[in-house]
Amino acid sequence: MRRKLVVANRKMHGTIPGNKAFLEGLLERTKEYRDSEYAVCLPHPYLYQAQSILTGTPIAWGGQNMSRNDDGPYTGSVSARMLVEFGCGYVIIGHSERRLRGQDSDNSVGERFQVATRAGLKPIFCMGETLEEFEQGLTDLVTIRQLNAVIQQIGIKNLAKGVLAYEPIWAIGTGEAASPEHAQTILHFLRGYLILKDTEVGNNIRILYGGSLKAQNAAQLFGMPDIDGGLVGSASLNTEEFVEICQAANLSS
Ligand code: 13P
């Protein structure tokens, strides 16, 4: 049985007092929703704050990217070891906001996946197609290409050490989420592909949906059999709304 997981991707947002209110509010308000799991991915400077507030609680935290390299002369970068030192359980890799700026490629995401898992982090590996690719019916092709690039580097068994996230680029930050049926179709297809490679991995791996996931559409999306939770951007900036999404996940667990 796959437990639902809801992850806040707060992107480049936040202040020290704002994070405090968010994290403490989340802890308080999700106390009764213990059938699902929750995590928050914050900008790197705030990870110490997350560690101070969340240590010993059921809420996990993580980074939004990490270097493929270990310690060394890489100005401006943060290593997997550093994320672990700040108590991170997760790290987002391959987000389209990085891929589209040329900061990540199919191959570099595979390398990051490997480095993250070696350090003991759970990568949240993002995949998804552009609007143009969606309109041309290329969603399957694009997501499988992204998935294969990682599997080639780490092997199918190691994929189980991470979490997958399908985030159609046309749904990110647009207010227009994929329909639950579309998201289910793609996630079912991806899971089926993995099951063919390794039944256990395919059946057990968590696949999240992301892209304009809100309080309003969370219950419908989470009601789909292959959707194991969500990666939430804009709606995670509002504590009340994020709590409602957590509640929807908990109810469908
Ligand atoms: P929005 O929820 O703002 O569409 O962002 C989704 C996302 O990119 C999560 O990683």
Ligand 1 mean position to 209 CA, how many Å?
10
Q: What is the pLDDT of residues 183-232, one digit of tens each?
A: 999 999 999 999 999 999 999 999 999 999 999 999 999 999 999 999 99
- Look at residue 1 in the predicted model and tell me its pLDDT: 81
Average pLDDT, stretch 166-193? 98
Q: Would the CB of 210 count as within 6 Å of ligand 1? A: yes
Active-site residue flag, 95 = yes
Band (pLDDT 50/70/90 cuts) for residue 253 is confident
Cβ neighbours of residue 109 under 8 Å, at least 6 residues apart?
93, 94, 99, 125, 146, 149, 150
Q: Which domains, ranges and CATH numbers included, belong to the chain?
A: 5-252 (3.20.20.70)
Using CB atoms within 10 A of its CB, is residue 82 exposed (0-12), middle (13-18) or buried (19+)? middle
pLDDT of residue 67: 97
Q: Is 94 a pocket residue for ligand 1 (Cβ < 6 Å)? A: no
- What is the C-alpha R_g of the chain? 17
Cα-flanking dihedrals φ and ψ of residue 199, to 5°?
-55, -45
Contacts of 217 (CB under 8 A, 6+ apart): 177, 180
Q: Which two tokens stand for residue 177?
A: 């989420």
- Taking 90 as the threshold, does the pLDDT of residue 25 lie above it? yes
The rounded percent of the chain whose pLDDT value lies above 70 is: 100
Evaluate: CB of 217 within 6 angstroms of ligand 1. Answer: no
Contact 42, 83 (CB under 8 A): no
Q: Sorting pLDDT into bands at 50, 70 and 90, what band is 138? A: very high
Q: Is 167 a catalytic residue?
A: yes
Atom in ligand 1 nearest the alpha carbon of residue 236: 2
Contact present, 29 and 59 (Cβ < 8 Å): no
| Smallest CA separation from ligand 1 atom 5, residue | 233
Atom of ligand 1 nearest to the CA of 97: 8
For residue 214, give the DSSP letter: -
Q: How many degrees, rounded to 5, is the angle at CA 139 between CA 105 and CA 225? A: 110
The answer to whether the beta carbons of residues 252 and 228 sit under 8 Å apart is no
- Kindly report, residue by residue over 46-91, the tens digit of the pLDDT: 999 999 999 999 999 999 999 999 999 999 999 999 999 999 999 9
Return d(Cα 14, Cα 10) in angstroms, integer: 8
Confidence check: pLDDT of 144 > 90: yes
Beta carbons within 8 Å of 240's beta carbon, 6+ residues apart:
none
Distance, CA 73 to ligand 1 centroid (Å)?
32
Mean pLDDT taken over the chain: 97
